[in-house]
């Protein structure tokens, strides 16, 4: 922290102290010892749990359900409550989920992963066999291609940050580099693509370029230390860092090496991006550079002028976040936020900036820039380029208005 | 990965392929398409959950209860199942817990934190006030001073890695740097210590040197993204990176600035280290450099000769892990393991090394070295220096024997 920022923080803290949010004791005698002994100190507390859960006072911090499709179970999406979280790791219980025909019940003792097609040695792996391979651990975000799609709408959604942008989460993923298994199977010349298929009732199927499979793809077995959660692909999922979440096929049952993309239902009728001119983009893999302020955000009310901490998340499927700029005047001026170290490639990056609110109406925005030089666009520019036919890959800047009453709302500004 | 290791890995993988653990299809026609369609693909799966849980097939992966004291609720410890986990983050539901009179039920709206004693302005904070301060996020381990205490015993415990060493866990902690609040309160000259007191029925109380409080101490509010779990100090705990876990006082209700240590019950009758000569060490704060192999470990059985991955955890309360050496011949020779990047200060560090087991009886060990030059000692040397009166701060090397049958057991070797 440099001297200037530190002095600013000192002044800002003094303002907070004067803001009335904290109660200052003026009677030193009364403050010499704590005056009250709470009930929690008068009798023993609760015993142990084999597997712990959040405090009952946090019971409203849950995933929130988006639209679901009638006639199927669990087709839809459930979102991470980004506005209630801090740091960069998403607790697995609050990790977003998108499934196309619910969460299959898969006994790991019976599950098999087949590698076949254009390989010299077709291989079938049990989960126990996969667990014997060399593993790596990496912190990565995963984002549904359809995240933030409500920003294509002509009017801003009146929803929380999580309800609007909560199809992104971040975990420490541990698994086997896919390259090792493909080298063992022996990919034949011309085998430049792979079909990846899930063992769910949607038979989720995507074509994966071999170059990505041989680069940083994982067969993920663990998430935040423990085995994958059912809704995140238990017992094994493909994991393609930075690419649209749908391609990280869950409940993975086979990889078929092929000479060209298969053109599955999931990459033709879905997960293509219809542009303003009526043409659709296909195979738009990396998720673009993006950020949003999670605190304060839509639905919150500031308790009067004074010091606040602006806190948010930034990420890029095309590399590492280089900087995040924050505007508290609707985009006229921008200040560099502090990024939480270590800043990791293709991982959620927490940014923070102290902000002294003067009590007047204003608009907050954040803008992320990655190390490939990509800059998150304003919504107006994004819509001008892409139109409003698509529902995927929206990385427009998110604006929150702050009213003089302290109310924070989603605005297009 | 350098060329030599890569070639070794290639040979090792070939050995694995030949080991029979994976089923190889020899009939290419049969392998051309998957022969079976599992039940999970024939009907929609389960719907959504507001808050997700592990797969039912992982129901045995739980914390394990240690001794508890009769007459009180929840006095004792419950351990992280280290042998079942991978990576470095501990899922919060499996984070270890040590409590001295159970887990208090604290309504965050009613909780207050008092900073008083030798300060110019005694302050009382609500949780909402704390949440407005600038926060930082850092990945740190926390380890109970009594972790691994069974290694003081004359015979090796016949328990799993987690049951023996599972009073250590690692999370991303987010909170307010304590320094900010102490600067606001204005520590008076001579205020060189702090009493930290918890709001549990044990009134857990420790004396904290002001130098640590002003250095890297946090008031932790979030753990792995969400608010602290009840058993980890909800709604606010003191967090002292690298120091014995007991000092990171949970359910923190006051910090009293004082001129000298208070000599509380928790730092005189407990949490002192009785040496062989009858004298006790007090105020032994940092947890020493340490490591253990979690896989394979006691209670597992190897399925025949072939390639295995040795995987384990290393950490040091005195800095950053610089290297971990692994021996597969009882300590005669040592090889450097691969450390998972990024290697962070005072955080669990995952190490891994491929190991080709020849099927003969042997002993596995790991030895951690930190960037302060501290080297984890052999048990024999550790006991010779410290005796067997103490129950705290044991960082001796953990040895696992592998029998020709594949059985892995705890040994002193």
Residue A128 CB neighbours (<10 A)? 12
pLDDT at B279: 92
Identify the CA nearest to A295 among candidates B375, B128, B245, B82. B128
From CA B231, how far away is CA B226, in angstroms rounded?
A: 14
Whether B85 sits inside 8 A of A43 (CB atoms) is no
Flag whether residue B299 sits within 8 Å of chain A, measured between CB atoms: no
Residues in chain B within 8 Å Cβ distance of A340: 136-137
Residues in chain B within 8 Å Cβ distance of A122: 24-25, 28, 31
pTM: 0.94
> DSSP for A257-310?
EESS----HHHHTSS-EE-TTS-EE----BPPPEEEEEES-TT-B--SSEEEEE
With beta carbons less than 8 A apart as the criterion, state whether A400 and A408 touch: yes
Helices (H), B61-205: 127-130, 161-165, 178-185
Inter-CA distances, A72 with A99, A230, A267, B43, B48, Å? 11, 18, 20, 9, 12
| Residue of chain A with shortest Cα separation from B102 | A45
Whether the CA torsion B53, B90, A233, B58 is positive or negative: it is negative
Interface mutation vs chain A, best among B1, B71, B82, B134, most A CBs within 10 Å: B134
Q: Name the packing angle between helices A3-17 and B178-185 (round to 10°).
A: 60
Residue B279 CB neighbours (<10 A)? 11
Identify the CA nearest to B97 among candidates B178, B168, B192. B168
Where chain B has pLDDT below 70, the residues are 1-35, 67-73
Nearest to A126 among B17, B22, B116 (CB): B22
DSSP lists the bridge partners of residue A327 as: A365
pLDDT tens sequence for chain A (413 residues) = 333 444 445 555 555 554 444 444 444 444 545 558 999 999 999 988 899 999 999 999 999 887 666 556 678 899 999 999 999 999 999 999 999 999 999 999 999 999 999 999 999 999 999 999 999 999 999 999 999 999 999 999 999 999 999 999 999 999 999 999 999 999 999 999 999 999 999 999 999 999 999 999 999 999 999 999 999 999 999 999 999 999 999 999 999 999 999 999 999 988 999 998 999 999 999 999 999 999 999 999 999 999 999 999 999 999 999 999 999 999 999 999 999 999 999 999 999 999 999 999 999 999 999 999 999 999 999 999 999 999 999 999 999 999 999 999 999 99
**Separation in Å, CA of B33 to nearest CA in chain A:** 8
Interface mutation vs chain B, best among A37, A46, A53, A91, most B CBs within 10 Å: A91
What is the greatest pairwise CA distance in chain A?
83
Residues in chain A within 8 Å Cβ distance of B94: 51-52, 225-226
Place of tokens 């008068």: A42
Nearest to B40 among A42, A44, A104 (CB): A104
Whether B91 sits inside 8 A of A91 (CB atoms) is yes
For chain A positions 258-297, those within 8 Å of chain B (CB to CB) are none
**Separation in Å, CA of A287 to nearest CA in chain B:** 22
Tell me the backbone φ, ψ of residue A14, rounded to 5 degrees.
-60, -40
The beta strands (E) that lie in B118-228 are given as 123-126, 136-143, 168-177, 193-198, 205-209, 218-223, 226-227
**Separation in Å, CA of A403 to nearest CA in chain B:** 19
With beta carbons less than 8 A apart as the criterion, state whether B249 and B237 touch: yes
Flag whether residue B301 sits within 8 Å of chain A, measured between CB atoms: no
From CA B348, how far away is CA A364, in angstroms rounded?
A: 37
Helices (H), B109-251: 127-130, 161-165, 178-185, 210-215
pLDDT at B261: 97
| Residue of chain A with shortest Cα separation from B296 | A132
From CA B360, how far away is CA A49, in angstroms rounded?
A: 40
Nearest to B51 among A40, A63, A235 (CB): A63
Interface mutation vs chain A, best among B69, B86, B90, most A CBs within 10 Å: B86
Interface mutation vs chain A, best among B34, B36, B45, B184, most A CBs within 10 Å: B45
Nearest to B21 among A129, A231, A311 (CB): A129
Identify the CA nearest to A177 among candidates A258, A112, A124, A240. A240
Residue B222 CB neighbours (<10 A)? 22
Whether domain A290-411 has CATH 2.60.40.650: yes
**Separation in Å, CA of A242 to nearest CA in chain B:** 18
| Residues comprising chain B, all counted | 413
From CA A109, how far away is CA A98, in angstroms rounded?
A: 25
Beta-carbon contacts of A26 under 8 Å, excluding residues fewer than 6 positions away, are none
From CA A133, how far away is CA A222, in angstroms rounded?
A: 13
> DSSP for A139-187?
EEEEE-TTTTGGGGSSS-----HHHHH-SEEEEEEEEEEHHHHHHHHTB
Residue B332 CB neighbours (<10 A)? 8
Residues in chain A within 8 Å Cβ distance of B357: none
Nearest to A48 among B10, B34, B97 (CB): B97
Angle at A385 between CA A381 and CA A390, to 5 degrees: 110
Flag whether residue A199 sits within 8 Å of chain B, measured between CB atoms: yes
**Separation in Å, CA of A288 to nearest CA in chain B:** 23
By CB atoms closer than 10 A (0-12, 13-18, 19+), residue A411 is middle
From CA A385, how far away is CA B326, in angstroms rounded?
A: 56
Give the CA radius of gyration of chain A.
24
Which CATH number applies to A98-149+167-264?
3.90.420.10
Residues in chain A within 8 Å Cβ distance of B31: 114, 116, 122, 124
The topology (CATH level 3) of B98-155+169-273 is: Sulfite Oxidase; Chain A, domain 2 (3.90.420)
| Residue of chain A with shortest Cα separation from B24 | A123
As for the ipTM of the complex, it is 0.93
Flag whether residue A42 sits within 8 Å of chain B, measured between CB atoms: yes
Q: Please list the residue range(s) of chain A that carry CATH number 3.90.420.10.
A: 98-149+167-264
For A134, the enclosing helix (H) or strand (E) is none
DSSP lists the bridge partners of residue A193 as: A209, A258
From CA B266, how far away is CA B172, in angstroms rounded?
A: 27
- A218-223 vs A237-239, strand pairing mode: antiparallel
Beta-carbon contacts of B261 under 8 Å, excluding residues fewer than 6 positions away, are B193, B207, B267, B283
Flag whether residue B97 sits within 8 Å of chain A, measured between CB atoms: yes
From CA A263, how far away is CA A282, in angstroms rounded?
A: 10
Interface mutation vs chain A, best among B34, B77, B216, B226, most A CBs within 10 Å: B226
Interface mutation vs chain B, best among A52, A166, A200, most B CBs within 10 Å: A52
Beta-carbon contacts of B146 under 8 Å, excluding residues fewer than 6 positions away, are B77, B98, B167, B391, B392
**Separation in Å, CA of A69 to nearest CA in chain B:** 11
Nearest to A45 among B104, B114, B308 (CB): B104
Identify the CA nearest to A257 among candidates A383, A121, A385. A121
Flag whether residue B180 sits within 8 Å of chain A, measured between CB atoms: yes
Beta-carbon contacts of B254 under 8 Å, excluding residues fewer than 6 positions away, are A34, B113, B114, B115, B116, B195, B196, B197
**Separation in Å, CA of B12 to nearest CA in chain A:** 10
Residues in chain A within 8 Å Cβ distance of B16: 129, 132-133
Flag whether residue B60 sits within 8 Å of chain A, measured between CB atoms: no
Whether B132 sits inside 8 A of A104 (CB atoms) is no
Q: Please list the residue range(s) of chain A that carry CATH number 2.60.40.650.
A: 290-411
Flag whether residue A307 sits within 8 Å of chain B, measured between CB atoms: yes
Residues in chain B within 8 Å Cβ distance of A48: 63, 65, 68, 74, 76, 78, 97, 231
For A362, the enclosing helix (H) or strand (E) is strand A362-370
Whether A105 sits inside 8 A of B132 (CB atoms) is no
Nearest to A253 among B34, B90, B221 (CB): B34
With beta carbons less than 8 A apart as the criterion, state whether B104 and B199 touch: yes
Residues in chain A within 8 Å Cβ distance of B48: 63, 65, 68, 74, 76, 78, 97, 231
DSSP B26: -
Nearest to B199 among A38, A122, A350 (CB): A38
**Separation in Å, CA of B111 to nearest CA in chain A:** 9
Flag whether residue B10 sits within 8 Å of chain A, measured between CB atoms: yes
């Amino acid at each position: 922290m440099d001297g200037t920022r530190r002095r600013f923080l000192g002044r800002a803290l003094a303002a907070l102290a004067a803001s009335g949010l904290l109660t200052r004791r003026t009677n030193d005698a009364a403050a010499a010892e704590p005056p009250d002994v709470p009930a929690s100190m008068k009798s023993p507390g609760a015993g142990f749990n084999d597997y712990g859960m959040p405090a009952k006072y946090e019971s409203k911090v849950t995933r929130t359900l988006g639209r679901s499709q009638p006639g199927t179970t669990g087709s839809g999406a459930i979102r991470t409550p980004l506005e209630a979280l801090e740091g960069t790791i998403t607790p697995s219980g609050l990790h977003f989920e998108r499934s196309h025909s619910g969460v299959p019940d898969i006994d790991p003792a019976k599950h098999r992963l087949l590698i076949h097609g254009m390989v010299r040695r077709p291989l079938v792996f049990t989960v126990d066999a996969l667990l014997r391979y060399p593993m790596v651990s990496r912190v990565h975000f995963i984002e549904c291609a359809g995240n933030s799609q409500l920003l294509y709408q002509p009017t801003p959604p009146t929803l929380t940050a999580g309800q609007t942008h909560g199809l992104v989460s971040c975990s420490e993923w541990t698994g086997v580099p896919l390259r090792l298994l493909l080298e063992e199977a022996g990919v034949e010349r011309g085998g430049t693509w792979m079909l990846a298929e899930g063992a769910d009732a949607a038979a989720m199927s995507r074509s994966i370029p071999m170059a990505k499979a041989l680069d940083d793809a994982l067969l993920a077995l663990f998430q935040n230390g423990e085995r994958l959660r059912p809704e995140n692909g238990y017992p094994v999922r493909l994991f393609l860092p930075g690419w649209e979440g749908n391609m990280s096929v869950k409940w993975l049952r086979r990889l078929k090496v092929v000479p060209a993309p298969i053109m599955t239902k999931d990459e033709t009728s879905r997960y293509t991006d219809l542009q303003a001119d009526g043409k659709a983009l296909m195979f738009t893999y990396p998720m673009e550079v993006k950020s949003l302020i999670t605190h304060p955000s839509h639905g919150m009310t500031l308790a009067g002028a004074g010091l606040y901490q602006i806190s948010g998340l930034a990420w890029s499927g095309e590399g590492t976040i280089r900087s995040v700029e924050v505007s508290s005047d609707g985009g006229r001026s921008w200040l560099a936020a502090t990024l939480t170290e270590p800043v990791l490639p293709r991982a959620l990056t927490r940014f923070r900036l102290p902000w002294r609110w003067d009590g007047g109406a204003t608009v907050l925005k954040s803008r992320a820039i990655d190390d490939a030089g990509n800059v998150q666009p304003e919504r107006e520019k994004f819509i001008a380029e892409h139109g409003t036919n698509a529902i995927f890959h929206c990385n427009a800047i998110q604006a929150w208005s702050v009213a003089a009453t302290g109310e924070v709302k989603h605005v297009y500004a």
